[in-house]
Amino acid sequence: MNEERYRVRPGGRLRGRVRVPGDKSISHRSIMLGALAEGCSRVHGFLEGEDSLNTLRAFRAMGVDIGDPRDGEVEIQGVGLRGLRAAPGPLDLGNSGTSMRLLAGLLAGQPFDSVLIGDASLSRRPMGRVIEPLTQMGARIDSEDGRPPLRIHGGRRLHGINYRLPIASAQVKSCLLLAGLYAEGETWVEEPAPTRDHTERMLRAFGYPVLGEGRRVGVAGGGRLTATELTVPADISSAAFFLVGASIAPGSEIVLESVGVNPTRTGVLDILRAMGADIEWLDRRDFGAEPVADLRVRAAPLRGIEIPEEWVPLAIDEFPVLFVAAALAEGETVLRGAAELRVKETDRIQVMADGLRTLGVEAEPTADGVRIQGMGPGGAFAGGRVDSHGDHRVAMAFAMAALRARAPIEIEHCANVRTSFPGFAQLAARTGLDIAVSPA
Ligand code: S3P
């Protein structure tokens, strides 16, 4: 991979109106359900990031005609639930855990065999969490001791199960619902805490009935999906960098347009609000099944909090940048019940704590969270060089930290930012971050 390094000069503030790229979770699902639907689906606001493009390429490899995305517009000629064909080789899903876990469910019910592979990070991530329940449904999947590559045997007859998820995971829930489309009878999933419900909302938008609601949902196999047109909201997980950047940099005021504010995703807003952030919702409206709003953020002094555990799944991808906010808050911030952060693109607890320490912050990792001593309103990060270890969200979090630093911050291994936020550095620069990107 062509690696990149960020060099971010200290200070500045964020100003302007921006629309961050489309939601990654919803973009993945739009390709998957569009491919399985009958008829031509049209998607607006699709995220042209490497992760969702890997999902798109996987379906093309399985014979689905999908146009090249242009300015977020994509057309998918759906082949129906029974219309996929065996790919000529392994499906390479790059860095994308969502692609692999959701596809595992969908492919377990196909008449053909499939092989799923990924990059070094994805190859280390746990897949037992999907292999186990899929096996209960009748699937046969070989792995490397619970890790990719996954070899999914086709031609299996799946049957519905009642599954209580041992961890709060929208990926596992979605994987089982997609397998359930191919199973005999009903497939039910019960989650220990609410997680993002984009799959449920989108299945309904494609005319597929979803049984139950909230923490217990299910599908009956054997239905059909009907093509539709949908608009993907701006990704709140990408907006999060600007929410924090504008909160910590005095004099900032920024409006983030058309941000997805699905209540299963807004934990970051609740946490920042509890810390004292000044975030206003403007023009709350719906993009089909998904609520959106414009968010206005102004700089505000932050205070440390104990993060309520029930908010953790609702903010699961935003913790790297929330840790940056915590480091500048008055007092201590404590996170518990977030062991899942250790099995994301990197071990985000360790990688963030290491970087924060390099920048002069007292951060103490625990088994399932972290304690961060905030430096308070007069505080600022020391400069220095930190390593994102190829984790897109860690790289962007440390870039925003420079807004309140005393010296430049250099961030290593930033190329993967393109998995979720192509054009991040340009957009951040346009709003006031002094960021330079160089090959490394
Ligand atoms: C996602 C679910 C979450 C999240 C990931 C996207 C999804 O993962 O971290 O970035 O699209 O379903 P888990 O379900 O593993 O928590």
Which whole number is the average pLDDT over 194-220?
A: 97
- Residue 2 confidence (pLDDT): 84
Instruction: Give yes or no for residue 356 having a pLDDT over 70.
Output: yes
Instruction: Give yes or no for residue 140 having a pLDDT over 90.
Output: yes
CA of 169 to the centre of ligand 1 (A): 6
392: which 2 tokens? Answer: 């897109």
Instruction: Give yes or no for residue 65 having a pLDDT over 70.
Output: yes
CA of 27 to the centre of ligand 1 (A): 13
Instruction: Give yes or no for residue 433 having a pLDDT over 70.
Output: yes
- Rounded Cα gap, residues 191 and 167, in angstroms: 7
Task: Report residue 205: phi and psi, to 5°.
Answer: -65, -30
- Rounded Cα gap, residues 285 and 280, in angstroms: 14
437: which 2 tokens? Answer: 């990107």
| HSE-CB of 275 using CA atoms within 13 angstroms | 38
Name residue, tokens 């009907």. Answer: 226
What mean pLDDT is reported for the chain?
Answer: 98
Instruction: Give yes or no for residue 104 having a pLDDT over 70.
Output: yes
CB under 8 Å to 132, separation ≥6 — which residues?
none
- Residue 366 confidence (pLDDT): 98
Instruction: Give yes or no for residue 440 having a pLDDT over 90.
Output: no
CB count within 10 Å of CB 291 equals 18
Residue type, 307: I
CB under 8 Å to 314, separation ≥6 — which residues?
194, 195, 263, 264, 265, 266, 267, 270
Asked whether the beta carbons of 10 and 383 are under 8 A apart, the reply is: yes
Percent of the chain topping pLDDT 70: 100
Which whole number is the average pLDDT over 139-153?
A: 98
Asked whether the beta carbons of 266 and 311 are under 8 A apart, the reply is: no
Helix (H) / strand (E) element for 388: namely none
Helix and strand element counts for the chain (H, E): 14, 23
Which whole number is the average pLDDT over 255-272?
A: 98
- Rounded Cα gap, residues 172 and 147, in angstroms: 15
Asked whether the beta carbons of 65 and 253 are under 8 A apart, the reply is: no
- Rounded Cα gap, residues 38 and 368, in angstroms: 44
> Has 317 been annotated as catalytic?
yes
Q: Work out the end-to-end distance of the chain between its first and last CA atoms, rounded to an integer number of angstroms.
A: 10
DSSP 215: T
- Residue 1 confidence (pLDDT): 64
Q: Look at residues 108, 82, 99, 112 and name the one whose alpha carbon lies nearest to residue 47.
A: 99
Residues in the chain, total: 440
Q: Give the ligand 1 atom nearest the CA of 102.
A: 12
Q: Sheet containing 65-66: which strands, arranged edge to edge?
A: 65-66, 74-79, 38-44, 229-231
**Active-site residue identified among 23, 92, 197, 317:** 317
Q: What is the pLDDT of residues 238-262, one digit of tens each?
A: 999 999 999 999 999 999 999 999 9
CA of 362 to the centre of ligand 1 (A): 29
CA of 407 to the centre of ligand 1 (A): 34
Instruction: Give yes or no for residue 195 having a pLDDT over 90.
Output: yes
* Nearest CA residue ID for atom 16, ligand 1: 169
CB under 8 Å to 222, separation ≥6 — which residues?
184
Q: Which residues line ligand 1 (CB under 6 A)?
A: 25, 98, 169-171, 174, 196, 316-317, 340
* Nearest CA residue ID for atom 4, ligand 1: 317
- Rounded Cα gap, residues 370 and 376, in angstroms: 18
Task: Report residue 434: phi and psi, to 5°.
Answer: -90, 80
Instruction: Give yes or no for residue 77 having a pLDDT over 80.
Output: yes
Which residue ranges form the domains of the chain, and what is each CATH number?
Answer: 4-22+234-439 (3.65.10.10), 24-231 (3.65.10.10)
Mutating to test ligand 1, I would choose from 52, 98, 420 the residue with most ligand atoms within 8 A of its C-beta, which is 98
Q: Sheet containing 147-153: which strands, arranged edge to edge?
A: 91-92, 114-117, 147-153, 140-144
Asked whether the beta carbons of 372 and 356 are under 8 A apart, the reply is: yes
